[in-house]
Amino acid sequence: MAEIICTVDVVLLTLLDGQLRVALLRRDHEPFPGVLALPGGYIHPDQDGDTQVAAARVLLEKTGIVSPYLEQLATFSGRGRDPRGWSLSICYYALVPTEVIRLAGHPEVVLVPADGIAGLPFDHQQIVAAALERVRNKSSYSSLPVYLCGDTFTLPQLQSVYEALLGEPVNKVSFRRKIEEFDILEPIEGAMETGKAHRPAQLYRLKSRYRNRLSLTDRGLGTG
């Protein structure tokens, strides 16, 4: 019986210049050496507890990042996707603020606009498309986008993150109502966004029970 190649791949997403971007790396091995691709690698049964751990390990090794949000996306498989043979990749996606990528100190990480991405090896384009669909879909009913913000942020900032993801303006009152009912944010006592020539905005952060969690319920934070 033929061998099955078992790998994990991670779609690491971030928001830069109001644009959703995917973190890519130049491959240093065959196949497709030198080509930009998703961070990925073989599962190591001897060291990985499961594929989620494998994905976190691969992400850390290749980008230096530990993402609080890392969720399984889907498994892609088949004969055609890898020239080495019948393969299978359990794919995950992660959301982090851009600072996290910058501070991870891996300058070889390239942030490519997620929409209209092309030229990726294997079936990475499909994988990215699936991740985008999932993230945008979840953004329409959950608190997922907070993972693209830093530790503290204002509601207008968070709103603009939602708008960037959904690609359309969202109603201010409805937005605030929704966030309120998710009940995941708390205002930081007395902390305001300063320096702007207008009324300062309240700074918020995730409530403590939602911070630093490594993998959450399938429906994301909040009530979903």
Degrees to nearest 5, angle at CA 97 with 130 and 211: 95
The residue from 26, 50, 83, 169 that contacts a second copy (CB under 8 A) is 50
**Toward a second copy, which CB reaches closer, 122 or 153?**
122
201: β partners: 193
The residue from 31, 33, 49, 83 that contacts a second copy (CB under 8 A) is 49
**Toward DNA, which CB reaches closer, 29 or 199?**
199
| CB-based contacts of 75, cutoff 8 Å, min separation 6 | 88, 89, 90, 91
113 lines the binding site for a second copy (CB under 8 A):
no
**Toward a second copy, which CB reaches closer, 24 or 43?**
43
Among the residue ranges 43-51, 53-61, 117-125, 152-160, the one whose residues contact DNA (CB under 7 A): 152-160
* Contacts within 8 Å (CB) and 24+ apart, 171-178: none
194 lines the binding site for DNA (CB under 7 A):
yes
Degrees to nearest 5, angle at CA 101 with 97 and 103: 110
Closest CB 4 distance from DNA, rounded Å: 45
The residue from 64, 86, 160, 170 that contacts a second copy (CB under 8 A) is 86
Which of DNA, a second copy, none binds 155 (CB below 5-8 Å, type-dependent)? DNA
Strand 110-113 relative to strand 87-95, pairing: unpaired
18: its two tokens = 């109001």
Which of a second copy, DNA, none binds 156 (CB below 5-8 Å, type-dependent)? DNA
196 lines the binding site for DNA (CB under 7 A):
yes
Closest CB 142 distance from a second copy, rounded Å: 12
The residue from 173, 190, 212, 218 that contacts DNA (CB under 7 A) is 173
Binding site for a second copy (CB under 8 A): 1-4, 6, 43-46, 49-52, 72, 74-75, 77-79, 85-86, 88, 90, 130, 133, 137, 218-219
